[in-house]
A and B are shown apart, each in its own frame.
Chain A
Amino acid sequence: MNTLITVSLLGIAAMLSEVFRFKKFIQTVFIAAVTGATGLAVLDWGTSYSYFRFMVLFDDYALAFSILFLVLTLIWLLLSQEYFCNENTRADYFALISFSLAGAIILSSFSDLSMFFIGIEILSVSAYVLAGSNRSDIRSAEAALKYFLPGAFSTGFLLFGMALIYGATGSFNLSNISLWIIANHSNLPVMVNAGVVFLITGLLFKIAAMPFHNWAPDVYDGSPTPVTAYMSTIIKAASFAAFYRLFVSCFSIMADWWTPLLVIAAAITMIGGNITAVYQNNLKRMLAYSSIAHSGYLLLAVAAINQLSKPAMLFYLAAYSVASLGMFTLVNRMGNEQQLDKLKGFAHDNPFYAALITLLTLSMAGIPPLAGFFGKYYVFLSSIRSDLIWPVIVAVIASLIGVYYYFRIVYNMYSKPAASAHVVSLSGFDKSAILITALLTLLLGIAPALIADII
């Protein structure tokens, strides 16, 4: 709770910094507050308190995800230094980032459908503005529009699902809904089933899973690269935290009804996302499709819904997000031309950092003994425990396709540059971002129990 209050106050402070003229220090304030909020979440560890008349519940699940979001934000700051350069807009950007972080924390801790709605809206509305934050670029404006319209549309579906479930159960509280569903398990009204389908539709839109993924590549491509990195890591992690929390605490008893839907969505997302990524020549778009494909693996963990899927999801999100932030550091440095060809000669100029990026790429592809491998391992393990055998086979095939395009990145980095090509060069902050993400990837690969055993 203290974490949520700190982050919300930080957003307000960031807005006020414009009025009271402490804009210059807002980055320091931001880093201090986010670090402090992380510390507060760590201090609360092991407790489980409910606030606002049982509307939010800060248990270990909520705290673990809050810490994940905050730590990722701190790493993300390293690669987005230039995004905050402009004196006129930096206070706004910091405010929007703080508010979306507050939304993310609510999404990991809600225990009431209305809080779920508020959280997802705080998160998304800030993200719409961030996507369009490069005002001089038409691509950014278009990305904002293409993010906003599907986002608002899917909110409608989410709300309709919530209304149907409220209509059947007469409560917004997750534990009351769960109790009601357990009591009426033998003859559930159609409204509950329909409500769950609407909720799934809305959430699949939000996490950009196929067949509702159409907006994602364009939005990821058009947004300023730091915002893309933010969307594909923290916002994605928050949406999955909410997805899992909602379904495990309300609808686990009627899993037979919705597991097939999620499994089918997961299978087509994994296969479709990976195959489409193969055909991309633009690194940013390739990472967008790869992010869609990773949603598929995560959906499998949600569909498995057993003891193992909670740590599997947390670990997968941590491993994927960390590696992804490192990759986006490179994309950010490529400027407006993110063709894969532009990476040629990168390894010749920066052999050390090219090796680290290779490491991150291998982690995303799922090569042992890196973090990404253990993420996939845990997800597959939990799916097999729930007898989802064929989806796991599909997932393994999809990861093999994934290896191909991840190796294209490595191949391009180690090729000789074209004669007159401008080779990508890294700033000090970029180097530290890549170093930190690579070290974390190695650490999580060597000692996966660090994260997997805590919840």
Chain B
Amino acid sequence: MNILQTIPLNHYIMLSALLFSIGAMGVLLRRNAIILLMCVELMLNAVNLLFAAFSVHHADGGGQVMVIFIMTVAAAEVAVGLAIIVMMFRKAGTTDINLFDTLKW
């Protein structure tokens, strides 16, 4: 705990902003639905890190409770997301989102 607190808050913000950007760029650039899902998870975990860091910084438990909320909801979201991807894979035989074009963009 003490070691963690010696790292300045700015470094945590930088790190999670970086992780968040990697996730966001992944969603925008990658074309495989499962990798998109992983990138979304990366974004959410960057946010979790930020919440935890701020929670320690403010000495307020709320941020950590929020992390638990986010993890729970993200688990539910991934369950639904994977089910949708499996359904789509059964119909289209691929997880490449560029090939999903029955509805015109």
Interface residues of A (CB under 8 A from B): 114, 117-118, 121, 125, 128-129, 132, 135, 138-139, 141-146, 148-149, 152-153, 155-156, 159-160, 162-164, 166-167, 170-172, 214, 218, 221-222
Contacts and interface: CB of A to CB of B under 8 A. Distances in A.
Interface string B65-91: 110011001001100110011011001
A128 B80 contact: yes
B1 interface: no
11 contacts: A121-B76, A138-B102, A142-B88, A142-B92, A145-B100, A152-B37, A155-B40, A156-B40, A163-B54, A166-B63, A171-B62
Given A159-B44, A160-B47, A167 B103 contact: no
Nearest to B16: A163
A142 B97 CA distance: 9
Interface string B11-43: 001001000100110010000010011001001
Contact of A170 (B40, B58, B104): B58
Contact of B103 (A117, A142, A149, A155): A142
A139 B33 CA distance: 16
A135 B83 CA distance: 12
Contact of B84 (A145, A156, A163): A145
A167 B92 contact: no
A191 to B, nearest CB: 8
Contact of A163 (B40, B50, B76): B50
A149 B50 contact: no
Nearest to A128: B80
Contact of A166 (B66, B73, B85, B88): B66
A114 B64 CA distance: 11
B50 A135 contact: no
A155 B46 CA distance: 13
Contacts of B73: 117-118, 121, 125
A122 B54 CA distance: 26
Contacts of A139: 102-103
B43 A156 contact: yes
Contact of B36 (A114, A129, A149, A159): A149
A-B pairs with lowest CB-CB distance, top 3: A156-B43, A170-B58, A167-B54
A145 B88 contact: yes
A162 B63 CA distance: 10
Interface residues of B, number: 44
B102 A152 contact: no
A118 B73 CA distance: 8
A279 B43 CA distance: 37
A214 B62 CA distance: 35
Given A125-B80, A167-B54, A145 B66 contact: no
B72 to A, nearest CB: 9
A148 B27 contact: no
A163 B47 contact: yes
A143 B20 contact: no
A156 B103 contact: no
A128 B40 CA distance: 16
B69 A218 contact: no
Contact of B91 (A141, A155, A170, A214): A141
Contacts of B27: 149, 153
Nearest to B85: A145
B87 A141 contact: yes
Contacts of A114: 62, 65-66, 69
Contacts of B97: 145, 149
B77 A155 contact: yes
A144 B66 contact: no
A114 B53 CA distance: 17
B65 to A, nearest CB: 7
A166 B33 contact: no
Contacts of B85: 145
Contact of B88 (A141, A153, A155, A164): A141
A324 B84 CA distance: 28
B33 A214 contact: no
B33 A149 contact: yes
B44 A155 contact: yes
B28 to A, nearest CB: 9
Contacts of B40: 149, 152-153, 155-156
Contacts of A152: 37, 40, 77, 81
Contacts of A164: 50
Nearest to B55: A166
A173 B37 CA distance: 30
Contacts of B23: 156
A167 B14 CA distance: 13
Contacts of A171: 60, 62
